[in-house]
Amino acid sequence: MGVIGLDHVQLAIPAGGEDQMRGFFCGLLGMVEVPKPANLSPSGLWLTGGGAHLHIGVDPDFTPARKAHPAFLVDDLSLVQERLETAGYETRDDKPVDGYARFFTTDPFGNRIELMQRL
């Protein structure tokens, strides 16, 4: 008995921020929006991509996560970095991690996001 996997990660946003998150995660990172169950809050959104599941939830007391973060694997890190920078998002390298190329950015509301590619 114990943890057998990760179902999803949730990021918080302020009210009304769903379209900006769609633009970031779907438009720039290639994730796809999936329907939320009808019995859940109509605010927020659910996204998926390559086996990763991300839930975006509205928090009335929103504060961006500046340290805690999801790390998404991508298949072409340099292309993702170029897309983000062209769209005006800052990207920053960090200490190397064996077996990966990676960088950090933030979503439209300042939540820390790590993007990684296996080498």
Q: Hey, where are the domains in the chain?
A: 9-118
Q: For the beta carbon of residue 56, count every other beta carbon within 10 angstroms.
A: 24
For strands 71-73 and 112-118, give the pairing.
parallel
Mean pLDDT in residue range 100-105: 98
Mean per-residue pLDDT, 18-23:
98
Specify the CATH class of 9-118 in words.
Answer: alpha beta
Average pLDDT, the chain: 97
What value does the CA radius of gyration of the chain take, rounded to a whole number of Å? 15
pLDDT tens-digit readout, 55-66: 999 999 999 999
| Segment 49-101, tens digit of pLDDT | 999 999 999 999 999 999 999 999 999 999 999 999 999 999 999 999 999 99
Distance (Å, rounded) from C-alpha 50 to C-alpha 96? 24
Q: Is 106 a residue whose pLDDT tops 90? A: yes
Q: How far is CA 40 from CA 51, 58, 60, 91, 114, in A?
A: 22, 12, 16, 34, 28
Banded pLDDT at 1 (limits 50, 70, 90): confident
pTM: 0.95
